[in-house]
Amino acid sequence: MYALKLDEAKQRSKRQARAVRPMRRRVSLAAWIALLPMAATVVFAYLGTMLWTARVSMSYSRSLPSNTFAGVTQYVRLFETERWIVSLQNLAIYGVCFIVACLVIGLLLAIFIDQRVAAEGALRTIFLYPYAMSFVATGLVWQWILNPELGVQAVLRHMGFEHAQFDWIVSQRFAIYTLVIATVWQASGLVMALLLAGLRGIDEEIWKAARLDGIPRWRVYASIVVPMLKTSMSTAFVLLFVMVVKLYDAVVAMTQGGPGTASEVPGKFIMDYLFNRANIGLASAASIVLLATVLAILAPVLYARNRMASKGERA
């Protein structure tokens, strides 16, 4: 009797599986059809334009694309151009300062909000709101704040501090750091949101065990909590690094790359040579160099992150 019921159950499960299989095929087919527009966009709009840019970078193109093959001539000219080298140096300084400052400030804000403070929702909104603004708006606001004739310096002198000086935005030495100040103000809220989500996912038992052992709270964060935020940190790093490479709007709005070339960055270099100097071959070569830099830095980060995720799943 038991064997008969078991056979009936097996037959019933097989019939249900056969009934579900066509439905799964239909759902899978519908999903692929829905993904076709995005797949076509990736293939033609992204990969296609990358390949076309690489082709133009190996030609003698000026105002219009040319089929004349130039090999690596444009790349040699690019790295012989002092303005390009200066823009790379500026981007390196900006990138290190920007990423480190955003990660530190974002972590501190996340830890602060994680203490279940009053008006937590309002504070999260206030800290995250600058990220909703465009880089152009951010650049203009900070240009006014840092303007020696209108901003912080003028206010301090009006208050009686006659020798107060805060003219970084017109200083060859400090102009690049004004970009760091403005964009850190805008992006640190995003890092705060990412790390706060990671903090809220940490088991409460860890905190209970730490309290029982008498471990100082700062030591728990430094030795236990922060290492557990590797995934959130890597996500924040990738987003911040992409923002560094894309830096253009804030530069145009705040400094126009000046004074001189003190705040020149690759994005502005590419746009100037593409539209103002009519040298799309050189601009394309600069774009490919930036793309190669992004891949060289982000590929190991993403690979390490996936390895950590797979190890966590196996554990």
Q: How far is CA 265 from CA 16, 90, 124, in A?
A: 62, 6, 32
Q: How far is CA 313 from CA 41, 233, 307, 308, 309, in A?
A: 32, 19, 10, 9, 6
Nearest CA-CA partner of 74 in 285, 261, 306: 285
Is residue 254 located within the same domain as residue 116?
yes
CA dihedral (154, 159, 165, 167) in degrees, to 10, reads -20
Is residue 135 located within the same domain as residue 22?
no
pLDDT of 4 over the 50 cut:
no
The C-alpha atoms of residue 141 and residue 156 are separated, in whole angstroms, by: 18
User: pTM of the prediction?
Assistant: 0.82
The C-alpha atoms of residue 154 and residue 135 are separated, in whole angstroms, by: 24
Quick check: is 56 in a domain? no
Is residue 122 located within the same domain as residue 22?
no
Task: Tell me the CATH number at 253.
Answer: 1.10.3720.10
The C-alpha atoms of residue 258 and residue 140 are separated, in whole angstroms, by: 15
Quick check: is 13 in a domain? yes
Is residue 152 located within the same domain as residue 224?
yes
pLDDT for res 187: 93
128-163 confidence digits (pLDDT tens): 888 888 888 888 889 999 988 888 888 888 888 888
Quick check: is 45 in a domain? no
Q: 130 or 30: whose pLDDT is higher?
A: 130
Quick check: is 170 in a domain? yes
Domain around 247: 82-314
pLDDT for res 5: 45
Is residue 19 located within the same domain as residue 161?
no
Q: For all residues of the chain together, what is the average pLDDT?
A: 84
Is residue 3 located within the same domain as residue 98?
no
Is residue 18 located within the same domain as residue 93?
no
Number of domains in the chain: 2
Q: Within 13 Å, how many C-alpha atoms sit on residue 239's CB side? A: 19
Which residue type is seen at 208?
K
Nearest CA-CA partner of 131 in 232, 236, 56, 203: 236
Quick check: is 71 in a domain? no
pLDDT for res 102: 95
Quick check: is 48 in a domain? no
Quick check: is 133 in a domain? yes
